[in-house]
Amino acid sequence: MSSMTKLVLTLLGDDQPGLVSRVSRVVADEGGSWLESQLARLAGTFAGIALVEVPAERVESLRAAFAGLSGVIEVGVKDAAASAPIEGRKLVLHLVGHDQPGIVRSVTEALAARGVSIEQLATATVEAPMAGGLLFEADAVLTAPFDVDADDLQADLESLARELMVDLDLTPAP
């Protein structure tokens, strides 16, 4: 039996129908399986990341097949890291406030200073109801090392929220 290799694919191209179908067809034609993905349309551009698994002896032919799609979609292929899961407390962060430059930078710097990893991050801007302008909203799943004091992290983030004039909630993950 053939050993399987996990690969992370990065996908980027002008949005059009059939992009995922073309990429998934290549994976299937090479004897692979589509395991996980996060795909989105951002400002007319299709962007995504996918975890696939293919027989080890088919990795190079998979890469070659993706090179053939370069006029339609750019596909990056990287061996998936075989690392242990990050140990720590899972937390959920929700932030909302008037859009302004530097929100993501400020929050991620505060998290990094405490050694907190971002497992997932989704951000968006939406029209502010009644007030006008844009609201910035972020939702994240975090992993904080066990030795990080949750109260200190909460205090750091609350101070930052006041400075940025945003609402920020940090809660244990369910």
Whichever domain contains 132, its CATH number is 3.30.70.260
Within a domain: residue 84?
A: no
**pLDDT on residue 85:** 73
Residues 96, 168 within the same domain: yes
Residues 73, 14 within the same domain: yes
Share of the chain above pLDDT 70, in %: 97
Q: Is pLDDT at 138 greater than 90 in this prediction? A: yes
What is the average pLDDT value for the chain, to the nearest integer?
A: 93
Residue 83: band (very low, low, confident or very high) from pLDDT cuts 50, 70, 90 = low
Which residues, other chains included, contact 147 with Cβ-Cβ below 8 Å and sequence gap of 6+?
none
Residues 74, 96 within the same domain: no
Give φ, ψ of 21 to 5 degrees: -60, -45
Strand partners, 142: 91, 118
Q: What's the average model confidence in pLDDT over 101-116?
A: 96
Which residues, other chains included, contact 57 with Cβ-Cβ below 8 Å and sequence gap of 6+?
2
Q: What's the average model confidence in pLDDT over 123-133?
A: 85
User: Among candidates 26, 24, 21, 27, which has minimal Cα distance to 4?
Assistant: 27
Least confidently predicted of 43-52, 75-84, 85-94, 161-170: 75-84
Residue 146, SS3 per DSSP: coil
Residue with tokens 């205090």: 155
Number of structural domains (the chain) is 2
**pLDDT on residue 100:** 92
Within a domain: residue 101?
A: yes
Which residues, other chains included, contact 164 with Cβ-Cβ below 8 Å and sequence gap of 6+?
97, 100, 103, 106
Residue 87: band (very low, low, confident or very high) from pLDDT cuts 50, 70, 90 = confident
pLDDT of 38-59, one tens digit each? 999 999 999 999 999 999 999 9
**pTM higher than 0.85, yes or no?**
no
Residues 121, 145 within the same domain: yes
Q: Which residue has the higher pLDDT, 85 or 139?
A: 139
User: Among candidates 135, 134, 131, 88, which has minimal Cα distance to 111?
Assistant: 88
Q: Which domain holds residue 20?
A: 4-79
Residues 43, 110 within the same domain: no
**pLDDT on residue 137:** 96
**pLDDT on residue 129:** 82
